[in-house]
Amino acid sequence: MTQILEMRGITKTFPGVKALDNVNLSVAEGEIHALVGENGAGKSTLMKVLSGVYPHGSYDGDIVFDGQVKAFRGISDSEADGIIIIHQELALVPLLSVGENIFLGNECARGGIIDWHETNRRARALLARVGLSEAPETVVDNLGLGKQQLVEIAKALSKNVRLLILDEPTSSLNEDDSQKLLDLLLEFKAKGITSILISHKLNEISRVADTITVLRDGSTVARLDCRDGISEDDIIRDMVGRSLQDRYPARAPQIGGTVMEVRNWIVHHPLHAERKVVDDVSFHVRQGEVLGIAGLMGAGRTELAMSLFGRSYGQGISGEALIGGQRADLTSVRSAINAGLAYATEDRKTFGLVLQDTIRRNVPLARLDAIASRGVVEPAREATVAETYRKRLNIKSSSIEQETVNLSGGNQQKVVLSKWLFADPDILILDEPTRGIDVGAKFEIYTVIRDLAAAGKAIIVISSEMPELLGITDRLYVMNEGRFVGEMATAEASQEKIMARIIKTDVRTGNETGDKT
């Protein structure tokens, strides 16, 4: 089979760290090639070298594409050869139309004037290729994440893509949207388009990949042919350098009395006051319990969590929240923290971290009074706290002075958790705590959750990964269209039962509909 891409001896060094060390990658034309490894293994760095984000001269080694040695000076050079990268953080302009986004920087123009008829005609054809029926005039911000991902792919197709690189394309998608995207990659493969897929979801890789390259600590450690019957355990062993017998740490729950109770909680949309996004929700969580909230994307889970945490979301909020049997003041973030509540956001980069600041400055943020004297932060105490949590959570970094923007996703998440652990809450809400994180780092975070529950904390986990909820929680609520439509002990739950509650429940009445078998 003809090799469309070879990366030979790629070495990339940043100040104080060697991100890539003599990495080799070979991709056959027309295949789906998976690139896997733990967070910080060098996957995204390698693709940034390939796409010209890190230009020729900033790394050692050679890139051979279509039989020719390349010296890409920037993204425009690689795109001219048909190498298109779609990053984990989508590069769409929310307030522009779909058509405008697809041809942004590559406008359909005549005499320097944009031809909108041609723009929309070509955009409509590209949207059809990725399975979207939306009009090209649709504003991107009005689309869900799954459809925005497809707009990104349509944009890639507009540039005559030959090699499509997708970095964690399904990390923010629900299961249905993820399957549609994977089906699209298989269609592209049938048409001769080569893809490189970076993903932590090994079940997805097993489904579509032809070949897998495994990186560990910036080096190539394995190349696997999926036709040889590779198992997920084989991939994990190569990724982490050891066998991972269990995906979830063993627990012996010691569950006590109710710590937090929420009654008849209602939240209205921040812009559309007539629309309820959380509709009369009641629940409780107990000491030492890991409580899961399951549901499809858009069910209202994050809106519920944010509205509880200092009314960070919504308007017209009503209902009652009790902590320790007493009515809790949750009207501001500070009052929520003082009441013993913490919330680790699903969007760690936007809301969870000060990315341009160091680990030392990020870790104590939620409890600055504990490291201050007369209102002034003491640098020595700040450093001690940061170093303590860096070791406790095994944050891989050069030092506590490393900026969080330069950490891998898994280590960024550990900094977010460190911030809230230092705040010492009684109730900790974790919203998609392992999104975009590799299996090794996931296990470490699951262990932190287990240990917090064992210490008597009440943990609420929101996750779109049902196996994760079934693996780490004690009890589950199922949410759909702003309401809780089911409650069950995790020991009695299954993915099928959870989906049945979502699909078969009329949210207007709370009653099951249709066949109950």
What span, in angstroms and rounded, lies between the C-alpha atoms of 307 and 278?
Answer: 9
The token duo for 195 is 């893809």
Q: Let me know if residue 77 belongs to a domain.
A: yes
Domain that holds residue 131: 95-158
Enter the DSSP assignment of 426.
S
On the question of pLDDT at 440 being above 80, the answer is no
Q: Do 457 and 288 touch, CB atoms closer than 8 A?
A: yes
Same domain? For 3 and 129 the reply is no
Q: Let me know if residue 88 belongs to a domain.
A: no
Same domain? For 138 and 194 the reply is no
The token duo for 116 is 């909108």
Same domain? For 388 and 419 the reply is yes
On the question of pLDDT at 510 being above 80, the answer is no
Q: Let me know if residue 232 belongs to a domain.
A: yes
Confidence of residue 239 (pLDDT cuts 50, 70, 90): confident
Q: Do 181 and 172 touch, CB atoms closer than 8 A?
A: no
Residue 105 has a pLDDT of 83
Same domain? For 151 and 169 the reply is no
Q: Which amino acid appears at position 24 of this protein?
A: N
What span, in angstroms and rounded, lies between the C-alpha atoms of 13 and 196?
Answer: 23
Summarised one tens digit per residue, pLDDT across range 482-506 is 999 999 999 999 888 888 888 765 4
Q: Do 318 and 264 touch, CB atoms closer than 8 A?
A: yes
Count, residues in the chain: 517
Same domain? For 10 and 118 the reply is no
On the question of pLDDT at 511 being above 80, the answer is no
Mean per-residue pLDDT, 185-213: 90
The dihedrals phi and psi of 234, each to the nearest 5 degrees, come to: -65, -45
On the question of pLDDT at 258 being above 90, the answer is yes
Same domain? For 125 and 28 the reply is no
Summarised one tens digit per residue, pLDDT across range 367-417 is 999 999 988 999 999 999 999 999 998 888 889 999 998 887 788 989 999
Residue 318 has a pLDDT of 96
Q: Do 23 and 7 touch, CB atoms closer than 8 A?
A: yes
Confidence of residue 517 (pLDDT cuts 50, 70, 90): very low
Q: Let me know if residue 517 belongs to a domain.
A: no
Same domain? For 119 and 76 the reply is no
Beta bridge partners of 290: 459
Confidence of residue 58 (pLDDT cuts 50, 70, 90): very high
Confidence of residue 19 (pLDDT cuts 50, 70, 90): confident
Mean pLDDT for the chain?
89
Alpha helices in 371-505 (DSSP H): 379-392, 409-423, 439-454, 466-472, 495-503
Same domain? For 123 and 187 the reply is no
Mean per-residue pLDDT, 273-302: 92
β-bridge pairing 475-480 and 376-377 = unpaired
Summarised one tens digit per residue, pLDDT across range 70-80 is 999 999 999 99
On the question of pLDDT at 471 being above 70, the answer is yes
Summarised one tens digit per residue, pLDDT across range 284-294 is 999 999 999 99
Same domain? For 173 and 230 the reply is yes
The token duo for 484 is 């809780």
What Rg, from alpha-carbon coordinates, does the chain have? 24
- Span between the terminal Cα atoms of the chain, in Å: 49
Same domain? For 153 and 174 the reply is no
Give percent of the chain above pLDDT 90: 59
Residue with tokens 């979801």: 201
Residue 505 has a pLDDT of 53
Q: Do 181 and 156 touch, CB atoms closer than 8 A?
A: no
Number of neighbours of residue 117 by Cβ within 10 angstroms: 9
* Residue 109 Cα distances to 117, 128, 235, 281, 284, angstroms: 10, 22, 48, 52, 59
Residue 32 has a pLDDT of 96
Output the DSSP codes for 45-111.
HHHHHHHTSS-TTSSEEEEEETTEEE---SHHHHHHTTEEEE-SS----TTSBHHHHHTTTS--EET
Q: Do 112 and 67 touch, CB atoms closer than 8 A?
A: no
Residue 232 has a pLDDT of 80
Q: Let me know if residue 25 belongs to a domain.
A: yes
Sheet holding 341-344, edge to edge: 341-344, 427-431, 458-462, 290-294, 475-480, 483-489
User: Any idea what the CATH number is for the domain that residue 33 is in?
Assistant: 3.40.50.300
Mean per-residue pLDDT, 184-207: 89
Q: Let me know if residue 253 belongs to a domain.
A: no
**In terms of Cα–Cα distance, which of 267, 379, 385, 278 is closest to 318?**
267
CA 470 to chain centre: 19
Residue 507 has a pLDDT of 46
On the question of pLDDT at 150 being above 50, the answer is yes
Q: Do 131 and 123 touch, CB atoms closer than 8 A?
A: no
Same domain? For 414 and 450 the reply is yes
Q: Let me know if residue 254 belongs to a domain.
A: no
Spatial CB neighbours of 276, under 8 Å, sequence gap ≥ 6: 266, 267, 268, 269, 482
Same domain? For 169 and 318 the reply is no
Domain's final residue, options 158, 181, 213: 158
Enter the DSSP assignment of 12.
E
> What is the total count of domains within the chain?
3
Q: Let me know if residue 265 belongs to a domain.
A: no
**Residue 499: HSE in the Cβ half-sphere, 13 Å Cα cutoff:** 11
Domain's final residue, options 245, 265, 284: 245
Domain's final residue, options 104, 138, 158: 158
